[in-house]
Structure 1
Amino acid sequence: MIRTFTNSEHRFVLSGETLEHLDTAVWVDILRPSKDEETAIERALGIDVPTIEEMSEIEVSSRLYTEEGATFMTTMMLSHTDGDNVLLSPITFILKGEQLITVRYAEPRSIDAFIARCQKGATYTADGVVAGLLDGLIERIGDVLERTGHELDALSDNIFAIKAPLVDGAVAEKVSKRNKARPRNYQSVLEQIGRKGDLLSKVRESLISFQRLLAFGTEIAVSRKPGKEYEGRLRTLTRDVQSLSDHTSFLTQKINFLLDATLGMINIEQTGIIKIFSVAAVVFLPPTLIASIYGMNFEVMPELSWPVGYPLALCLMVLSAVVPYQFFKWRGWL
């Protein structure tokens, strides 16, 4: 799909979904172009439109370069950001003269929001559209990080069973007992930590690509001379990306901490289970020994002929089980 935008009557408007108004277009937005559309655009603009394979290459020279009088800048943007299954896809900004051409294969809401905001009033230049699009995409990354931070806080509360303080002490005690009785699903916790880690790795990759694009765009601005306002916005976006990168590092460290804490909790639970089996084995070992002794088939065993022999054996078995149990409890091992 091809959409062209132009300035008309002091407004930035959609001029059409064909190349008919290409001469007056300020922004040509190309979404999932077909082969025929690519050919038509290349013929009309005299540029080589990169394919999605070329846009996805990780070499800087394949993403940021100048060719045939046009500047190509590719970055990785986030879409489907409402959940953890975020899609990372490339978008290429092509600046040629006073025109901007964008090539993309995803539809993030931040771009649609920018288009709706542009059409409410004012006019835009190609460089202004670039700055606006970058601002919207980076702001969306910030929203994703903010949501992820809140979800990690909730996950931390779940792992460490941290509850909000209650005014009523009796109610608080009742809730505390109920929470202790409720087993925690550590498998679900590990799955959530894994999803958050994968999300942050995509965010980090996107931020790195934005950092490189902004550095390259700042260098290109020297020759294009778009104005101090545009250069100032690029510097502001660079600072925003740096702050988001720092916050991403913090959240990554928090994920590693929560992962280590979860594995530690699992080890503690496993140790507790093994301890129960060990104590049970020690407690039942003396009664088993006594029962084994009196279960031997020897002819001469005086206790077998005693009238109180059977009750005495039972009492010895119970006593031999109670004494180790009380000893373990006294030492605090239970």
Structure 2
Amino acid sequence: MLDVYVRHGGRLKKLEASDSLPAEAVWIDMIRPTADEEALVERTIGIDVPTHDDMKEIEASSRLYQEDSHLFMTATVLSKTETEHPVARPITFVLTPTHLVTIRYTEPKSFEIFAGRCQRPGLGDDAASALAGLLDAVIDRAADTLERLSVEMDTLSATVFQSAAGAVRRTIDYQNVLRSIGQKGELNAKIQESLLTIGRISSYLEQVLATAKVSKETRGRIKTLGRDVVSLTDHAHFLADRVTFLLDATLGMINIEQNAIIKIVSIATVVFLPPTVVASIYGMNFHAMPELNWPWGYPFALALMAVAAVLPYLVFRRLGWL
């Protein structure tokens, strides 16, 4: 599918679907393009549209390169960040002196946001400003995801370190906690990957556009995007450290609970072992046992078993082991 945006009164305007590309097209958004659509763009713009396999390559030379006056840049962009299974897919940006072409096989929210934003006046109506605005939308979306992730980490931290003082102690489902920590760590890793690729694009654009015929405002926006990426990357690193800390803390809490259970079992064993020994002795049924003919033999045995159970408990409590 091709979404085409043309210059219209200082802004961009989306055209209805057509079998041809107008000469005044500024942004051509290729969404899961067919072979015919790729051929149409190649014939009209004069570029070789990268294949889906080409976009997946991770070498810097395959993601950032120039052919004549055409800049090819591939970034990893997040989508479905509100779900339990966020995805990060490559998107290629092709910047020519008059056109911006985007090739994608995913539908991130940032593109939808910019598609509505670019049709309002004041954001520019040329290819370079459209690219700057689109990257800005991608970065804003990553920032929003980081903010939401930070809030969720606060909630998760409160769950792990919840206090039982003054309230009935709640049982924490550590399996779900570990799963949640893993999901948040995975999302943060995808954000870091996305910011890394966008940071490379912003640095590359700063160098290339320094001598190109683009407005001073667009150059300033590209520099601002680079600074935003740096600050967001630092915050993502902080969240990565926090994920590691929460994971270690959760595993420590699990170990403490396991030790508490083992401690209870050990106490029960120590308390009931001496009475068991007493009961075993009087269960031998030897004929010459003096207590067998004693009227108080049975109460005596029960009392001895009780003393044998209570005495170790009092000793361990005195020593501070309980």
Structure 1 Cα separation of the partners of residues 9 and 239 of structure 2: 47
- The question of 1:149 aligning with 2:137 is answered no
Give the aligned partner of residue 22 of structure 1. Answer: 22
> C-alpha displacement at 1:162, in angstroms?
4.9
Structure 1 Cα separation of the partners of residues 140 and 16 of structure 2: 28
Structure 2 Cα separation of the partners of residues 2 and 270 of structure 1: 58
RMSD across aligned C-alpha pairs, in angstroms?
1.6
The 3-state SS of whatever aligns with 2:3 is strand
Q: 1:19 to 1:228 in 2, by over 3 A?
A: farther
- Consecutive unaligned residues of structure 1, counting only runs of 5 or more, are 164-172
TM-score (norm 1): 0.92
> C-alpha displacement at 1:20, in angstroms?
2.8
Does the 8 Å CA contact 2:21/2:44 hold for their aligned counterparts?
no
Output the amino acid matched with 2:270.
V
Q: 1:39 to 1:20 in 2, by over 3 A?
A: closer
- The question of 1:124 aligning with 2:125 is answered yes
Does the 8 Å CA contact 1:11/1:119 hold for their aligned counterparts?
yes
Deviations 1:285-315 (A, max 9, x none): 1111111111113222112111111110110
Deviations 1:135-173 (A, max 9, x none): 00000000000000000000000011159xxxxxxxxx7
Higher percent of residues as helix: 1
Output the amino acid matched with 1:313.
A
> C-alpha displacement at 1:19, in angstroms?
5.5
Structure 2 Cα separation of the partners of residues 109 and 43 of structure 1: 30
Does the 8 Å CA contact 1:5/1:16 hold for their aligned counterparts?
no
> C-alpha displacement at 1:329, in angstroms?
2.4
- The question of 1:273 aligning with 2:248 is answered no
Structure 2 Cα separation of the partners of residues 238 and 255 of structure 1: 26
- The question of 1:257 aligning with 2:245 is answered yes
Give the aligned partner of residue 203 of structure 1. Answer: 191
Output the amino acid matched with 1:153.
D
- Answer with 294-303 or 283-292: which moved more: 294-303
Identity in percent: 48
Structure 1 Cα separation of the partners of residues 202 and 106 of structure 2: 21
Does the 8 Å CA contact 1:64/1:73 hold for their aligned counterparts?
yes
Structure 2 Cα separation of the partners of residues 228 and 40 of structure 1: 33
Give the aligned partner of residue 36 of structure 1. Answer: 36
Superposition pairs of residues 1-334 of structure 1, within 5 angstroms:
1-18=1-18, 20-122=20-122, 123-162=124-163, 176-178=166-168, 180=169, 182-334=170-322
Q: 1:40 to 1:20 in 2, by over 3 A?
A: closer
> C-alpha displacement at 1:108, in angstroms?
1.8
Count matched residues.
321
> C-alpha displacement at 1:117, in angstroms?
1.8
Output the amino acid matched with 1:211.
G
Does the 8 Å CA contact 1:303/1:309 hold for their aligned counterparts?
yes
- Consecutive unaligned residues of structure 2, counting only runs of 5 or more, are none
Please list every run of at least 4 consecutive aligned residues from structure 1 whose deviation after the TM superposition is greater than 3 angstroms: none
